[in-house]
Amino acid sequence: MDVFNPTGQKYHIEKNTVQETLIIPLYGRKVCSDCFPELFKDPEAERICSMLDYDFAEKGKRMESGVGLFGALEVAQRQYDIACEVKDYLKVRPNAAVVNLGCGLDDTFRKCDNGTCRGYNIDMPDVIKVRNELLPEKDREKNLGFDLNDEKWMDEIDAGEGAIFYATGVFYYFKTEDVKVLFGRLAERFPGAVLVFDACNRRGAKMMTKTWLKEAGISNVGAFFSLEDVAVLESWSSYFKNVSAKSYMRGYRDIYKDVSFLHKLMIHFCDKLVKMIIVKIEFKG
């Protein structure tokens, strides 16, 4: 376990800044670790939250509600889903590159580290500055400050023994055309690699305009990435070998029996009405 700031001084998080947006999913994982320890025990999220100079009271109160707690469940389950895909890929390619696109303060690489793979955490330079304070690089791990739309970051990836790229809660903030270009370039440059990410339909994206996207200043959701039918992706690139999807909340580990009646209803809502899924794209070798 890393030792952060041995002087005991806490890292200050300013309100209404990029720093604050980074700790929302982190705090969601911490809440799930407290409320559902048999499903989501996450000592790293607890450790980092305990070392922040930030008043969590408002967000804690919001997440105490049934709807708020479900939001935390979504965050924790999403990381679990992505980790399943990473671990499966590493069973076949144990020395592969594990590339976190728009990493924020996500620690999926460390949860999947098999001792021989290499981790790359990529985000905007101001985000990586915060990450370097709270989650500094470990062995075989690099924190890289790049705009994902700037292809220069791809030059930093050693994919000689395979690569799995993944993104959690990222592409909702990208215009569809930019996502299409990024996916195509990844498939061209990294044959045999895999890309995994979460998505929802237009209805779900519109709902997010009231929360996450609104905070990012995005109002015209129509131009931004959403997915009505995963089959649409098959035509995006001739370098795609296979495109598949699983339920976000039930596809990797079915937590239906472990949650309240309200959360069971919300799981149905996510599956049927907003089509929350984890998408996997395999590139041709």
Is the Cβ–Cβ distance between 283 and 205 less than 8 Å? Answer: no
pLDDT beyond 50 at 213: no
Is 278 contained in some domain? yes
Percent of the residues in the chain that have a pLDDT greater than 70, as a whole number: 92
pLDDT interval class at 166 (50, 70, 90): very high
**Is 65 contained in some domain?**
no
Q: Is the pLDDT of residue 263 over 50?
A: yes
Dihedral (Cα; 78, 84, 85, 90), 10-degree rounding:
140
What would the two tokens of residue 20 be? 């604050």
Torsional class of 270: left (φ above 0), alpha (ψ -120 to 50), beta (otherwise): alpha
Mean per-residue pLDDT, 137-158: 97
Query: pLDDT tens digits, residue range 17-26?
Result: 778 888 889 9
Mean pLDDT of 107-115: 97
DSSP SS3 for 280: strand
Does residue 218 surpass a pLDDT of 60? no
- Whether 2 shows a pLDDT value over 80: the answer reads no
Rounded average pLDDT over 149-162: 97
Q: Does 41 fall in a domain?
A: no
Among 131-140, 159-168, 217-226, 231-240, which is the least confidently predicted range? 217-226
Is residue 232 one of the residues assigned to a domain?
yes
As for how many domains the chain has, the answer is: 1
Q: Is residue 173 part of a domain?
A: yes
Where does 15-148 have alpha helices with state H?
18-35, 37-40, 43-50, 57-64, 66-92, 108-112, 125-134
Q: How far is CA 265 from CA 32, 118, 203, 227, 250, in A?
A: 18, 39, 17, 22, 13
Residue 115 domain-assigned?
Answer: yes
103 part of a folded domain: yes
Q: 164: domain range?
A: 80-283
pTM (2 d.p.)? 0.91
- Count of CB atoms situated within 10 Å of the CB of 215: 13
Torsion (CA) 176, 186, 79, 122 in degrees, nearest 10: -100
Residues with Cβ < 8 Å from 25, sequence gap 6 or more?
A: 75, 104, 105, 106, 168, 169
Residue 163 counted as domain residue: yes
C-alpha to C-alpha distance for 204 and 273, rounded to whole angstroms: 8
18-35 and 125-134 helices, crossing angle to 10°: 40
For residue 5, the model assigns a pLDDT of 46
Q: Which CATH number is 233's domain given?
A: 3.40.50.150
Output DSSP code: residue 248. T
Distance CA 119, CA 9 (A): 28
Report pLDDT for 219: 52
Q: Are 122 and 148 in contact (CB under 8 A)?
A: yes
